[in-house]
């Protein structure tokens, strides 16, 4: 098998990219190159060596998708078509549940033989309903709690409340009773000194607490984007 050698200029470009995680794999899904941004996405320190290793051999949360990734890479090599996907898992330097957008493309040698794949990974930018309604389309969702003022269970109620859900709808989505929803709201009122739903919503918006999506609403998975 021909060894993959990356041009120095390409490595420099990858190394100097603090936003996009870049990786290169051979046609057996073994890593040839990984930049530090991708290592951070996969929750590993820069000193970890990937070269020659399959992702299933790495101590990373997304390794549970190893077989799916390999299947996807063989299809890319066979068809020459890139694949775009959203992967939701524990990832990023924050080591939290969050989605990442990836593009995986075929890598060719000088004779136009496909010898592997190139992957890029970056943040998913989600515009929250409140940002859209307020016309603040540059405000994106966050997946790390912006404050410790509420517990995770309270954040779940607050998120749905900010999205415009009523008590009955929140109860149904969270699969808890209306009394339990109201109990969480009362706790929020005590912590903020407020006494109404509208005041709580305004408080969250005024203090930029309305763009957090709690982990409850993020499900692990790898979804290929078609079209």
Q: Is the pLDDT of residue 126 over 90?
A: no
> What DSSP element (H or E) covers 102?
strand 96-108
Mind listing the pLDDT tens digit for each residue in 51-89?
A: 999 999 999 999 999 999 999 999 999 999 999 999 999
pLDDT of residue 125: 81
pLDDT of residue 2: 58
Query: What's the CA gap between 82 and 84, in Å, rounded?
Result: 7
Mean pLDDT of the region 132-158: 85
Contacts of 131 (CB under 8 A, 6+ apart): 137, 139, 140, 210, 211
Mean pLDDT of the region 217-226: 92
Mind listing the pLDDT tens digit for each residue in 202-215?
A: 999 899 898 899 99
Q: Is the pLDDT of residue 226 over 90?
A: no
Domains, the chain, in order of start with CATH, read 8-123 (3.30.450.20), 129-217 (1.10.10.10)
Q: Read off φ and ψ for residue 87, nearest 5 degrees.
A: -115, 125
Q: Is the pLDDT of residue 137 over 90?
A: no
> What DSSP element (H or E) covers 186?
helix 178-192
Query: What's the CA gap between 112 and 25, in Å, rounded?
Result: 17
Mean pLDDT of the region 7-16: 91
Nearest to 200 by CA among 171, 169, 172, 159: 159
Number of other CB atoms surrounding residue 195 within 10 Å:
10
Q: Tell how far CA 217 is from the center of its chain.
A: 12
Tokens of 193: 């000194």
Q: Is the pLDDT of residue 22 over 60?
A: yes
């Amino acid at each position: 098998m021909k060894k993959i050698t990356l041009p120095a200029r390409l490595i420099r470009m990858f190394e100097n990219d603090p936003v996009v995680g870049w990786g290169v794999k051979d046609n057996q899904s073994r890593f040839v190159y990984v930049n530090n941004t991708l290592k951070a996405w996969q929750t590993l320190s820069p000193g970890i060596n990937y070269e020659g290793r399959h992702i299933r051999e790495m101590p990373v949360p997304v390794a549970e998708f190893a077989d799916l990734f390999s299947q996807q890479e063989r299809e890319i090599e066979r068809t020459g078509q890139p694949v775009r996907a959203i992967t939701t898992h524990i990832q990023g330097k924050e080591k939290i549940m969050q989605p990442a957008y990836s593009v995986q493309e075929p890598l060719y040698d000088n004779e136009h033989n496909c010898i592997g794949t190139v992957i890029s990974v970056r943040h998913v930018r989600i515009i929250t309903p409140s940002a859209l309604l307020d016309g603040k389309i540059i405000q994106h969702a966050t997946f790390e709690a912006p404050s410790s003022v509420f517990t995770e269970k309270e954040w779940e109620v607050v998120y749905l409340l900010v999205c415009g859900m009523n008590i009955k709808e929140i109860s149904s989505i969270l699969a808890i009773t209306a009394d339990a929803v109201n109990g969480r709201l009362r706790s929020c009122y005590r912590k903020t000194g407020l006494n109404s739903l509208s005041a709580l919503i305004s408080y969250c918006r005024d203090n930029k607490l309305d763009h957090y999506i709690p982990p409850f609403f993020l499900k692990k998975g790898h979804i290929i984007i078609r079209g």
